[in-house]
Amino acid sequence: MSEQPPEVSSLRLAILEALKIAAPGALNDEARKTFLATGSNIVFAELDMDSLGEMEFCIAIELSTGVTLLPSELAELASTDGVERRLREKLDEAARSGGEASR
């Protein structure tokens, strides 16, 4: 029996797509595969995203998940793990209240 790869969450896929837009070229193919396959954490400070990149990241996240993130929140969240936690919290809140996932 062959071992199946773990299912990649839609949130991790959304974060990866947002990173491709916000910091093009920052992650090579191997880093992208590792991020999805092993759940590795990427620290935003290591990507050298400028303010436009941060805005693009937040817009891409909102378009794919419906959750509003502000560029100023990225410093507090610090990494992809922090963003994923925040997205889960907001989506869980929205599911409980039956409302929008945004702030």
pTM reported for the whole predicted model: 0.84
Question: Each residue of 45-65: pLDDT tens digit?
Answer: 999 899 999 999 999 999 999
Task: Write out the residue range of the structural domain in which residue 29 sits.
Answer: 10-95
What are the residues whose beta carbons fall under 8 Å from the beta carbon of 41, sequence distance 6 or more? 79, 80, 81
Q: Assess if residue 57 is contained within a domain.
A: yes
Q: How many domains does the chain have?
A: 1
d(CA 51, CA 57) in angstroms, rounded, equals 10
Predicted confidence at residue 4, as pLDDT, reads 36
> Is 76 a domain residue?
yes
CATH number at residue 55: 1.10.1200
**Within-domain flag for 103:** no
35 within some domain: yes
Is 39 domain-assigned? yes
Would you say residue 34 lies in a domain? Answer: yes
